[in-house]
Structure 1
Amino acid sequence: MPERTWHPISKLESFIDHTRRWAVDVRENLKTLEEARTKPYVREQDPS
């Protein structure tokens, strides 16, 4: 069976779809990351 040949535009579309999902994840988590950066470090206390 011949190997499927990808057209360069198809590769680009696949790349854009992949990076778009990554960019959405970054945007969704950016606020949480910024809040974490601005808060002082809080150490968990040992329960014992």
Structure 2
Amino acid sequence: MLAEKQQELNNVVLKYGLRSKEALYISQELDIMINQVMKEKALT
């Protein structure tokens, strides 16, 4: 599932031609959100 989300992000980056710096920022933000969700799921 997480790999699918990463692939979706990659597709968006390719589609819209975001500059690599912007794409990297978005990827980092996504990683942070995923980590938060995983921590919350681990606690329950």
- TM-score class, shorter: 0.5 to 0.7
Find the counterpart in structure 1 of residue 33 from structure 2.
21
Structure 1 ranges of 4+ moved more than 2 A: none
TM-score (norm 2): 0.52
Seq. identity, %: 10
Between structure 1 and structure 2, the one with the greater Rg is 1
Unaligned 5+ residue runs, structure 1?
33-48
How many pairs does the alignment contain?
A: 30
Structure in which a larger fraction of residues adopt helix: 2
Q: Which structure has the higher relative contact order (CA within 8 Å, separation 6+)?
A: 2
RMSD, matched Cα: 1.8
TM-score (norm 1): 0.49
